Amino acid sequence: MRRFNSMRIVFVTVAAAAVFFTTSVAGRASVADDLRKEIDQKNEEVAAIEKEIQEYRKRLAEKEQESQTLKTAVSRIDLTLKKINSSIRLAETRIARTRLEIRELDGEIRGKAGAIGNSRVSLAALMVSLSRQDEEGLLQLVAKYKSLAGFFNSFYSIISFEGELQKKLVELRVLKQGLEESNEAAKAKNQELAGLLRTLADERSLHAVERKEQAQLLQETQNQEKKYQALLQEQEKKRAALENEIQEIEQKIGFTLDPSSIPLRGSGILGWPLSDISLKSCWNGGQGAKNCITQYFGNTDFARRGGYNGKGHNGVDLRADIGTPVFAADGGVITAVGDTDIGCRGASYGKWILIRHPNNLATLYTHLSAIHASTGQEVARGDRIGFSGKTGYATGPHLHFGAFVANAVEVTSIRSRVCGRQMTLPIAPTSAYLNPLDYL
């Protein structure tokens, strides 16, 4: 009689737990369906805004081909502001979507935690029943029944209970694994949310910078084409004069390159500082990529026309809209950051970052709109360190990416003769210039 009572207790306990669990699951399923609909709607909004941003990028690329006029410059800034506004909306929508996804994961976690609880209740009830039956020996069980049929029925019920126990144990392990996976997913989503919030703050900051740039341009030119052209000529004059000053300093640096002190060419030791890169020139088949090459390393067309005072281009220029994330090409330490516009606006690198890597390479990132790194900071390959822009001498938004022999680069403070103010920037002898493409 005790065996049947213990079985009845088990079944009642399991049944009650199942009814409660089924009711709560139904409620959570309804909430989950509503959340999924909202997430799907946000996905559609994200896709629409991304398409909008892509159209702005296309129009901005077309503007790069137009002549340098005040009207074109103002139009570029207007388009950039519109693109940044769209990027702000995109970040806000992604934030809203991520918060919904976190709520969805929270619901999954609660559901799995509840299922684990119910599974434990069922498991405990089964174990209690088996424990009671184990208290009786084989002879006692045989003596309790008038026939062998009754004994074997009881014996098979014990086997059935043990099978159910094994099933519940497997179910519990699966539920616990699922809960751990959901917790990890929730942790990743919270990290993603933190990143999106930083992106939103960055986009709003970039918008303010561009508005200031627009106001400054209109103030300096008084909305007159003649004054704008004079401003361009003045910037070109300052650039050429500053390059002469820098060349004089570089020629005084004694340095002989030891090829064995740096990685071999073609080693792929560096990663790209931007995403969506094309190795082709923007003007020769590279237009399909978001960030193609506008100027290669060395004796480029611009260098042959007199640019860089015969030294050649000391890096690679990559087309990149204002606000495009810039990443560390490899792990290392931020040697220095700076802004040459403070000392001589529109004449040199603008906002720049120099990273020294353990392999005796140093990488340079210039014309940035914003810097997200500080001197002495350790960075890993792929860490976001800033955003592309058009500070310094830049006819359009792009990233100048350079590579040098690290022990030959000097971060120097000079008093520019052309501007009459102090400015800090990295300087290296021509023999220490390296083609970044050789190490990507």
153 with 71, same domain: the answer is yes
156 with 280, same domain: the answer is no
Q: Which residue has the tokens 């300096």?
A: 220
Which helix or strand (DSSP H or E) is residue 291 part of?
Answer: strand 291-295
286 with 419, same domain: the answer is yes
DSSP 94-130: HHHHHHHHHHHHHHHHHHHHHHHHHHHHHHHHHHHHH
Round to whole Å and give the CA distance between 221 and 219. 6
Q: Enter the pTM of the model.
A: 0.76
* SS3 at position 75: helix
153 with 255, same domain: the answer is no
β-pair partners for 155:
none
Which helix or strand (DSSP H or E) is residue 315 part of?
Answer: none
∠ CA 358-364-366, rounded to 5°? 160
Domain that holds residue 116: 2-209
Q: Is 427 left (phi over 0), alpha (psi -120 to 50) or beta?
A: beta
Tens of pLDDT along the chain (440 residues) come to 444 444 444 444 545 555 545 555 566 677 888 999 999 999 999 999 999 998 998 888 888 778 889 999 999 999 999 999 999 999 999 999 999 999 999 998 988 888 888 877 777 776 676 666 555 554 555 555 555 555 455 555 555 666 666 777 788 788 888 889 989 999 999 999 999 999 899 999 999 989 998 999 999 999 899 999 999 998 888 888 888 888 888 888 888 888 899 999 988 899 999 988 877 777 776 555 578 888 888 877 766 666 666 677 889 999 888 889 999 999 999 999 999 999 888 889 999 999 999 999 999 999 999 999 999 999 999 999 999 999 999 888 899 999 999 999 999 888 888 888 888 999 999 889 999 999 98
Nearest to 431 by CA among 243, 246, 254, 301: 254
Would you tell me the crossing angle of helices 225-251 and 70-134 to the nearest 10 degrees? 70
**What is the C-alpha radius of gyration for the chain, rounded to an integer number of angstroms?**
34
Round to whole Å and give the CA distance between 93 and 188. 18
Among residues 151, 185, 209, which one ends one of the domains?
209
Tally of domains within the chain = 2
257 with 146, same domain: the answer is no
Report whether 57 contacts 76 (CB < 8 A): no
